[in-house]
Amino acid sequence: MVRMVNEFQAIVSRLRRSAQMKLSRLRIDTENCPRAMAIMAEGPGRDALEAVFRDAGWRLTIADTSAPALDPVCERLPIIFYERELNRSRWREAVLLLSRLSPRPYVILLSSTSDRNLWDELVRYGGCDIVRTPICRDAVIQAVESGWSLWLSQQRLRRAAEVRA
């Protein structure tokens, strides 16, 4: 009987250690998870984007204008979504300003249309990707994962260059 109690206590102890290790890994992953800002109007698109980020466990900041992203005292986020329909005639200027922030963010244009001309224009103004609206969960996940991976790689290269200099 004593032996069974000792074995049971050993099993419980191993389970606790395993749970603690998983919890600490989860904290690390949460701190290193994708972070983004979405500059877009209220509505179903905004709600859908928030739901994707919430389900993925990522962090999303919402803004109605570009001002918070351009404010020098605000946290610089590595991924920025910009809704083209927010200001259809001035989206190019907004993407250009956002793409020139330091460290350079991965700028994703949210647009109801997407053709070769729009892609060419987006790249010319410093944008990186287009996600079509209405928001598709898989397209958002793919864009964020690509942007996050690229941004992290760029930061590692930048830090390595600074160390060598």
Task: Check if the beta carbon of residue 44 is closer than 8 Å to that of residue 52.
Answer: no
How many separate domains does the chain show?
Answer: 2
Say what the pLDDT of residue 73 is.
Answer: 82
Residue 25 shares a structural domain with residue 43: no
Residue 51 shares a structural domain with residue 118: yes
Task: Check pLDDT > 50 for residue 23.
Answer: no
Residue 4 shares a structural domain with residue 55: no
pTM for the whole structure: 0.80
Mean pLDDT, to the nearest integer, of 92-102?
Answer: 96
Cα 6 to Cα 14, 16, 29, 136: the distances in Å are 12, 15, 35, 53
Q: Give tens-digit pLDDT for 40-81.
A: 999 999 999 999 999 999 999 999 999 999 998 888 899 999
Query: In sequence order, which residues have a C-beta less than 8 Å from that of residue 21 and are 6 or more positions away?
Result: none
Say what the pLDDT of residue 12 is.
Answer: 57
What is the residue range of 143's domain?
Answer: 33-164
Q: Which of 6-10, 14-18, 107-111 has the lowest mean pLDDT?
A: 14-18
Phi, psi of 31 (to 5 degrees): -70, -30
Task: Check if the beta carbon of residue 144 is closer than 8 Å to that of residue 36.
Answer: yes
